[in-house]
A = this chain, B = another copy of it.
Amino acid sequence: MRMIPKSSPPLLDPEVLRRRGLRLTGPRRLLLEVIRSTDVHPTAEWLYRRVRRRLPRVSLGTVYRNLRFLVEEGIVKELPGPTGRSTGASRPSRFDGNTSVHHHFTCSACGRIQDLSEPVDRSLDRRMTARTGHDISHHRIEFYGRCAACRVRRGRRSRARNKR
C-alpha cells in the first residue's frame, strides 16, 4: 500500500479542460491523484474508498463518471477485464494511471496484476500489419503464471485477491 504523494507530475491540465468547457473539481482532481499514485490496477470500488478518505462526501457514481471521463480523454487506461471466475457478475474493471504502453503479468493464484517494463516491439506491429492487411497501431502482451510470492507458498491459493 503506497503513500499518496502530495501532487503528481502533469495532473489534469486546467488549460486543456477549459478548452473543452470542462471543470477541474475536487473529486476529479483527487481521483486522478489517487490513481496516479498506485500501481495495483485498482477497481472503481477501491478508488472510491481511497478518495473518500479525503473527501468523505464523494459518491460512487461520481467515481464511475470521472473514470469514464478520464478513460475517454485517454488520461487513464482501462484494463482488458480479468477473465474467468466470478460470483454474481463479479469481474469489475480495473484502471491504470500509467498510460505508457506496457505489458502485464497476471498471477493466476493471487490475481495480482503487475506492470512489466519489457520494451515494446513496434516492429511486431508493422510485421502484423503487412501480414494481415489490418492497420495495427499497437499491441499489448499479457503474461500469465504464478508470481514469485505465490510460488513460495506452493499449493494453497492465496486469498489476497487484493481487496483494499
Contact = CB atoms under 8 A, between A and B. Distances in A.
Interface of A: 71, 78-84, 89, 91, 93, 105, 107-108, 114, 116, 118, 124-125, 128-129, 131-148, 151
Q: Which are the 5 A-B pairs with shortest beta-carbon distances?
A: A81-B81, A80-B80, A136-B145, A133-B148, A135-B146
A139 B108 CA distance: 12
Contact of A138 (B82, B107, B125, B145): B145
B134 A138 contact: no
Given A91-B81, A142-B80, A151 B125 contact: no
Contacts of A146: 134-135, 137
Given A80-B81, A81-B81, 18 more contacts: A78-B83, A80-B82, A80-B142, A81-B83, A81-B91, A118-B128, A128-B143, A135-B147, A135-B151, A136-B145, A137-B144, A137-B146, A138-B143, A138-B145, A140-B144, A141-B141, A141-B142, A142-B142
